[in-house]
Structure 1
Amino acid sequence: MKIVKIIGVPEHFNLPWHMAIEEGAFEERGIKLQWTDIPEGTGKMCQMLAADDTDLAIILTEGILKSITEGNPSKIVQQYIASPLQWGIHVDAKSTYKTISDLEGTRAAISRFGSGSHLMAYVNAENQSWKTDSLEFRVINNLAGAVEALAQGDADYFMWEHFTTKPLVDDGTFRRLGDCPTPWPCFVVAATDNFIRENTGVLNHVLEVINRYTEEFKSIPSIDRTLANSYGQQLVDIKDWLSKTQWSQSQLNLQTIEKVKDTLIYLKLIDRRPTNAEILKL
């Protein structure tokens, strides 16, 4: 049995992986897939890929592209979610901020530098016509850290996936001022160069299994109820999320890659234009 280590955020996007593991679909291919939740998000997962602490990661497109450009010996092996991620823009429920424009010049809570919460703060600032070279950040590690930082006034706003944070909006912890969708498909499967080089056949088997599950995922009877119960979500919110989310079974297209590069260069988040061969398993 080949042991393969994989990491991802503890969010509803990744339920197909857990279902495939629980149903023994990988073991049928001779693979023991060991999943680890990483609540800190993409910045932490980039560090783990670079350190060879994992073989695979389900990770944000913009975050892994930036990390690879900076020397992370990894590749995007496939697109996973083909739709944008809806980043909710949150403040403490008791704060005086009422609109997104009120946040200009304030401090963003981020899980890690290089994480989605960090990079999307730049995208949001650009959307709002703010100066992006003077953004301020406070590192809070994870969602629990953001709750504490906003409540104590250590940071002013926090960007995180809309539906993951919806329970905190519903219970009066956060107030959402709006959303900022990613300008591209949000999640990809990334693998270390070492794993790709030494386990091409195993990687192909992993992708074949998960692609079969994601192709059929939305048609599973009562999948909306399963998701709502598994992730503490309201059924109406899960139905809304499912209607907006598309899984992918193919590699990122080159037009998408160029758009991510263009945006990161324009926002001065990377200082060179990487080749597609650096980024993608072609």
Structure 2
Amino acid sequence: MKNVNIGGVPEHFNLAWYLTLKNGEYKDQGINLRWHDYYGGTGAMCKALREKDIDIAVILTEGIIKDIIAGNPSKIVQTFVKSPLIWGIHVAANSKYNSIASLKGTKAAISRYGSGSHLMAYINAKNNNWNLEKDLNFEVIKNLDGAVEGLKNGTADYFMWEKFTTKPLVDNGTFRSVGDCPTPWPCFVIAVREDFIENEKDTLKTILNIINNTTKDFKHIPSIDKTIANRYEQKLEDVQEWLGLTEWSQNVIDEKTVNKIQKELLSLNIIPKTVEYNKLVFKL
């Protein structure tokens, strides 16, 4: 039995992994795949890949591209979700801020530097023509619980996180939503440590085949909307809206898209340089 560690956020995007694990599909192929939840998101998974705590990560595209350029010895092997991620922009329920424009120059709560919440604050600032040096300030809050605390006690003013994940907190009056900011590219990719790719190509291909067979027909699984609503404590109509907006992928991310992302990250001074496609992506 091959032991393989994989990490991802504990969100509805990754339910397909849970279903295939529950069905014992990897064990049937001689693979003991262990799933690890990363509440700290992309920054925490980049660290886990570097430290060999995990072999594979289901991770935000822009975050892993930034970290590979910064020396993470991993490669993207496939797009996982090809539709954009819709980031909700949230303030505390009693906040004096009522629009994205009013947040200019205030403090953004981020899970950690290099995380999606950090990088998307730059995208949002650029979209609104803010000064990237003067109008962006950050407070590290580690995770969603930290954001709830930070916004409530005023150590941060706004928080960006996947819109549907935070929707229950908007519904119950913890947060107020002031707008959305979609990623201008496919949101999740599967990244793998280079040494694992080198030594375990067949194992990796088997894992990808299993997950791809499930994501291909994910939306047609009977009562999948109700399953998601129950598991992630979401309203059925929100889940149905999310399913309508979300598209999974079974293909490798293309060079044009990778170059577009790098160009955007470079223009925001998030990366120091762009690199060749094959430094970031490995085609199995």
Q: TM-score, normalised by structure 2?
A: 0.99
Aligned amino acid, residue 44 of structure 2: K
Amino acid at match of 1:76: I
Query: Could you say what secondary structure the match of 1:68 adopts?
Result: helix
2:75 match: 75
Give matches, 1:135-154, under 5 Å.
135-154=136-155
**How far is 1:14 from its partner?**
0.2
The letter of the residue matching 1:65 is I
d(CA) in 1 for partners of 2:167 and 2:274?
A: 36
Tell me by how many angstroms 1:194 deviates.
1.0
Match of 2:243 in 1: 242
Task: Tell me the number of residue pairs that the alignment of Structure 1 and Structure 2 aligns.
Answer: 282
Structure 2 Cα separation of the partners of residues 33 and 233 of structure 1: 28
1:203 corresponds to which residue? 204
Please identify runs of 4+ aligned residues in structure 1 that moved more than 3 A: none
Alpha-carbon deviation of 1:278?
Answer: 1.0
Equivalent residue number for residue 112 of structure 1: 112
Q: Deviations over 1:41-84 (max 9, x none)?
A: 00110011111110000000000000000000000010000100
Distance, in Å, in 2 between the alignment partners of 1:227 and 1:95 is 31
Whole-Å separation in 1 of the counterparts to 2:242 and 2:268: 29
Partner of 2:15: 15
Match of 1:171 in 2: 172
Query: 1:48 is paired with a residue of what secondary structure?
Result: helix
Cα displacement (A) at 1:264? 0.3
The match for 1:88 is: 88
Matching residue's letter, 1:101: A
CA displacement at 1:269 relative to structure 2: 0.4
d(CA) in 1 for partners of 2:238 and 2:197? Answer: 37
Partner of 2:123 in structure 1? 123
Query: Which residue identity does 1:60 align to in structure 2?
Result: L
Distance 2:241 2:254 in 1: 27
Looking at structure 2, the residues matched to 250 and 227 of structure 1 have their Cα atoms a distance apart, in angstroms, of 24
Q: TM-score, normalised to structure 1's length?
A: 0.99
Give the SS at the match of 1:133: coil
**Separation of aligned partners in 2, 1:143 and 1:52:** 25
Give, in whole Å, the separation in 2 of the partners of 1:277 and 1:247. Answer: 23
Q: CA deviation at 1:195?
A: 0.6
TM-superposed CA distance for 1:253, in Å, is 1.1
SS at match of 1:137: strand
Structure 2 CA distance, aligned partners of 1:218 and 1:25?
19
RMSD, aligned CA: 0.5
AA of the residue aligned to 1:126 = K
TM-fit CA distance, 1:231: 0.5
Instruction: Measure, in 1, the Cα distance between the counterparts of 2:260 and 2:30.
Output: 38
> Are 1:265 and 2:266 counterparts?
yes
Q: Deviations over 1:99-128 (max 9, x none)?
A: 100000000000010000000000000000
Equivalent-residue separation in structure 2 for 1:140 and 1:243 (angstroms) = 31
Displacement, 1:199? Answer: 0.3
Q: Deviations over 1:143-162 (max 9, x none)?
A: 00000000000000000000
Worse-matched range after superposition: 240-249 or 129-138? 129-138
Q: Name structure 1 gaps, 5 residues minimum.
A: none
State the identity as a percent: 54
3-state SS in 2 of match to 1:159? strand
**Structure 1 residue matching 2:58: 3-state secondary structure:** strand
Superposed displacement of residue 180, structure 1: 0.0
Match of 1:251 in 2: 252
Other structure's SS at 1:132 match? coil
